[in-house]
Amino acid sequence: MIYPRSTVEVDGTTYLLVQDAAGKHLGIRGDALRFEGEVREDGLFLGPLSPANAAALRDRVDWLQPEPLGLKESVGCGDRLGLATPGHIRAVRAAGGIAPILAQQSMRENARTGRSPQRVMDEAMWGVFQEGWREPWGADADHLKTTADIDVCVAASYTFFTIEPGDHVDSEVDGSRQGEGDWLQAKLELLPWRDLEDDPARLRARYLGRRFEVEGFVLEFGPESLLRAAVKYGRAIWHTVRMYRHLAAAKGGRSFELEVSVDETATPTTPEEHLFIASELARLGVQWVSLAPRYVGRFEKGVDYIGDLREFETQLAKHAAIARVMGPYKLSLHSGSDKFSIYPLVAREARELVHLKTAGTSYLEALRAIAGVNPALFRRSLAFALQCYERDRATYHLSGELARVPAPERLADSELGRVLDLFDGRQVLHATFGSVLERFGGLLRAELEAHEEAYYAALEAHFARHLAPFTH
């Protein structure tokens, strides 16, 4: 079978994706120099979907290379199995007007899935090839914390780099009481002022006594609110600057995009703190395309927004105004999948300056497809997830409870997929993806490859709900 959208002719050579009983292969009619494989009797060259063939094909077909997306409204599509890209592309193609980031995985997720940044890139690229997606697409090296991680992702030609300085955010200051100025002042003095190219006196001169007009809002700092902002985010700003400068040097003049993420912290980012972060990063020469504050409420994995929608909208309006005035740059929604109640609010306030980041929801849709085509395998996966949840939830902020997830042996085959419609069921299955893939990954992949259209259909339907509020 030939995937019809994959066929492309470049400089007299035709490339296409072929599937037979042994799996998928790269087909070439014409110049196959530098490719791994062999020529069949009918003259078609067939090669494996290997790293070497992926690299050679990228060199010849321009649209198989990721590129920066700029300020265009965008969606990040994490894929923990390496099989979801065709489904993602179908959803984006149907929605229209939204740019996709199709290779996206954090180092933490790579460790749990046994994948490398290069493998994530290559598997996304084969999906792009299969679907014939010729519009710009991006590749996100997600939640980077070290310069060594940057180097690995630069070598794999990622174009979008998400810096995660959350370990350097001092959320302890938000638990301090009014009037504890001496304690905060002591913390202020210990900031890395030389690296920040600053000192406390100049900091105060820049912010105190000023009114920052941001569209219809006025933001001001008092001595204590400035002290708290500087102590809370000072080291995170320094870490981001250090990572950005390393990234720029590693890229050696090649274009890239930066996202700054302070969402994985204990306390929300106030509008004043957002303004402070943006001002200080700009002062230190950082250029970024999107920023993810820690919004009010809870953005738990795999489920809808938890919190006061009115308060969220009020705060979001200020964050969006800051992003337009201080950039412009996009507001990024991390753990953004399945937050259906806030998408209309974000679309209205951000006005297309938005990046929606999803990841685990595509894995959950893979399990939904499995429940339909191999109920026994889904039942085994769910039973194992229930065993692993209490351990695996440690690295997440989750509310899901085991007691509220039905035992798989009590469910009929036709009822299994409904577990993925339950708050607690989604969180149990989401948090345990690493353990489940370690135990059942080969079986799950084989089933999804054998029933790929069922998986693509589940993804397209699910992402249609995500993208609909953002289409204009």
Any idea where the domains of the chain sit in the sequence?
A: 4-60, 361-466
Q: How far apart are alpha carbons 448 and 364 in whole angstroms?
A: 13
Judge whether 259 counts as a catalytic residue: yes
Helix or strand (DSSP H, E) at 288: none
The pLDDT assigned to 335 comes to 93
Helix or strand (DSSP H, E) at 127: helix 117-131
The pLDDT assigned to 395 comes to 85
The pLDDT assigned to 121 comes to 98
**Residues 6-47 pLDDT 10s:** 999 999 999 999 999 999 999 999 999 999 999 998 999 999
Residue bearing tokens 């970024």: 288
In terms of Cα–Cα distance, which of 36, 78, 40 is closest to 57?
36
In Å, how far are 187, 223, 280, 281, 303 from 198, measured between CA atoms? 15, 17, 10, 12, 42
In Å, how far are 5, 273, 370 from 450, measured between CA atoms? 19, 50, 11
Tokens of 418: 């409904």
Q: How many residues are listed for the chain in this entry?
A: 472
Question: DSSP H helical segments within 190-341, as ranges?
Answer: 193-196, 200-207, 223-251, 271-283, 309-326
Contacts of residue 139, Cβ cutoff 8 Å, sequence gap at least 6: 66, 101, 102, 103, 104, 121, 124, 156, 157, 158, 159, 160
Residues in the chain with pLDDT values less than 70: 176-180
For the chain, report the end-to-end CA distance as a whole number of angstroms.
Answer: 37
Strand 99-106 relative to strand 354-358: parallel, antiparallel, unpaired?
A: unpaired
Residue bearing tokens 């998986």: 455
Residue bearing tokens 């199709």: 102
Question: DSSP H helical segments within 137-211, as ranges?
Answer: 147-155, 181-189, 193-196, 200-207
pTM of the model: 0.96
The pLDDT assigned to 178 comes to 58
Judge whether 31 counts as a catalytic residue: no
Tokens of 217: 């809002």
Q: How far apart are alpha carbons 109 and 301 in whole angstroms?
A: 14
Contact present, 75 and 356 (Cβ < 8 Å): yes
In Å, how far are 66, 92, 260, 277, 391 from 167, measured between CA atoms? 29, 34, 13, 16, 22
**Residues 175-207 pLDDT 10s:** 766 556 788 999 999 999 999 999 999 999 999
Q: Which residue among the candidates 109, 142, 164, 198 is catalytic per the annotation?
A: 142
Q: What is the DSSP letter of 163?
A: E
Q: How far apart are alpha carbons 28 and 11 in whole angstroms?
A: 12
Helix or strand (DSSP H, E) at 374: none
Contact present, 270 and 294 (Cβ < 8 Å): no
Q: HEC string of 30-54?
A: CCCCCCCCEECCCCCEEECCCHHHH
Average per-residue pLDDT for the chain: 96
Q: How far apart are alpha carbons 355 and 461 in whole angstroms?
A: 20
The pLDDT assigned to 321 comes to 98
Half-sphere exposure of 208 (CA within 13 A, CB side): 13
In Å, how far are 102, 302, 360, 372 from 80, measured between CA atoms? 12, 14, 7, 20
In Å, how far are 189, 192, 200, 283 from 234, measured between CA atoms? 11, 8, 11, 13
Query: Within a 10 A sphere around the Cβ of 230, how many other Cβ atoms?
Result: 27
Q: Which residue among the candidates 79, 109, 149, 259 is catalytic per the annotation?
A: 259
The pLDDT assigned to 229 comes to 97
Q: How far apart are alpha carbons 399 and 421 in whole angstroms?
A: 15
- Secondary structure of residue 17 in the 3-state scheme: strand
**Virtual torsion, Cα 195, 201, 203, 207, nearest 10 deg:** 180
Contacts of residue 63, Cβ cutoff 8 Å, sequence gap at least 6: 128, 133, 134, 135
